[in-house]
Amino acid sequence: MNAKLIAFSAFVTAFVGAGIGFITASLLPSPYTSQMYKDLEQKYVIVGAVAGLLIGSSQEMIRELKQERDAEEELLRDLNKAIHSSTDRENL
């Protein structure tokens, strides 16, 4: 697996998630004033960034694993064709 590509994908989606968290916090201000609701924008940005990081890295790992699996299946198909063509020639 390409660790650099996974890290890049994770950071890009973390940045996008942080932006979504910031926009969400800006569009939906909290009407409450207790201490728990102070700095809610910062919490939304952190949650969005973490969610983006997890989603981006997971998606890229799944994509790379699928490419590896497809390459292995293609190799097995080619090997199977080669075996069948050599056994067919022997039977003639």
H helix count then E strand count, the chain: 2, 0
- When pLDDT is cut at 50, 70 and 90, the band that residue 57 belongs to is very high
Is the model's pLDDT at 39 over the cut of 80? yes
How many whole angstroms separate alpha carbon 76 and alpha carbon 85?
Answer: 14
- When pLDDT is cut at 50, 70 and 90, the band that residue 40 belongs to is confident
29 sits in which H/E element: none
The DSSP call for residue 36 is: G
- When pLDDT is cut at 50, 70 and 90, the band that residue 1 belongs to is confident
Is the model's pLDDT at 91 over the cut of 80? no
Which candidate, 40, 48, 41, places its Cα nearest to that of 14? 48
Given this model, what pLDDT does residue 89 score?
Answer: 67
